[in-house]
Amino acid sequence: MNDTKDTTGTSLSEKLSYLRLRTLSAHWDAYLKLAAQKRYSHDRLLRHIVGEEYRSKRDNARRLRLQKARIPEALVIETFPFDRQPKLNKKKLMAHYDSMTYMSEAQNIIWLGGTGCGKTGLATSFLIHAINHGHSGRYVHFAELVNELYRACADHSQEKVLKKYLRYDCLHIDEIGYVEVEPEQVGQFFTLMHKRHKRKPTLITSNLGFGDWNSFLKNDHLTAALIDRLTENSHVINMKGCKSLRPKLSQ
């Protein structure tokens, strides 16, 4: 790159940096070489440069959204061992995944099944799929979420916490059912699910069937109301008959 300064004392690289055209700055000489080799017209060269800058910015934004989602393990649908879970309806699951109606129609997806059967991996892949298509998202473990709600009740920051989780286009709440919940937490969790209802989708995994949710929520009325909200506009993926994918420990 000819980086001589103009009459204002500003170099080309400085101008590109100021405009945040990092891809153009990094590939300036390559673009000129490509244009010469393929005899690009000015119009075609400009379109190529704009297209590359656009692709780079979108990819950077996607990576930033993935980072902000706090996903502990980036599991994707392409690596899920469907052959080891023959009882799982792959065709139906992939129809939800490919159509992305869970995003366009704000449909919850709830995976129910035993430990290690792949619930978290599938839910995570749906979350990543949404993020890759331009949506914001967040992974949160249920225990972490209810603890945050508990602290919010203590310092009266409930609205702030609720707004944070309402902001995400797609929310993945993992492993509902492993911790007991205080009455204040149940109320706040119900409020969060109620406000997301039919507006933004929530992906949920649980090792317990709906009939057992009262064992940790400790409130018959709110448990029934919560399940009603979650299932009204949702897909329930029953994996109770699926085996664990985790390697067995040697005796």
Tell me the C-alpha distance between 122 and 120, whole Å.
5
Question: Mean pLDDT in the chain?
Answer: 90
| CA dist list (Å): 64 to 35, 57, 138, 212 | 32, 11, 12, 38
Tell me the C-alpha distance between 210 and 225, whole Å.
12
| CA dist list (Å): 16 to 41, 51, 222, 230 | 22, 16, 56, 49
Considering the entire predicted model, what is its pTM? 0.86
* Pair 111, 237: CB distance under 8 Å: yes
Q: Note the pLDDT tens digit of each residue in 59-93.
A: 999 999 999 999 999 999 999 999 999 999 999 99
Q: Note the pLDDT tens digit of each residue in 111-164.
A: 999 989 999 999 999 999 999 999 999 999 999 999 998 898 889 998 999 999
Residue 99 predicted with pLDDT over 60 = yes
Q: Note the pLDDT tens digit of each residue in 18-59.
A: 878 888 888 888 888 888 898 998 889 889 888 888 888 899
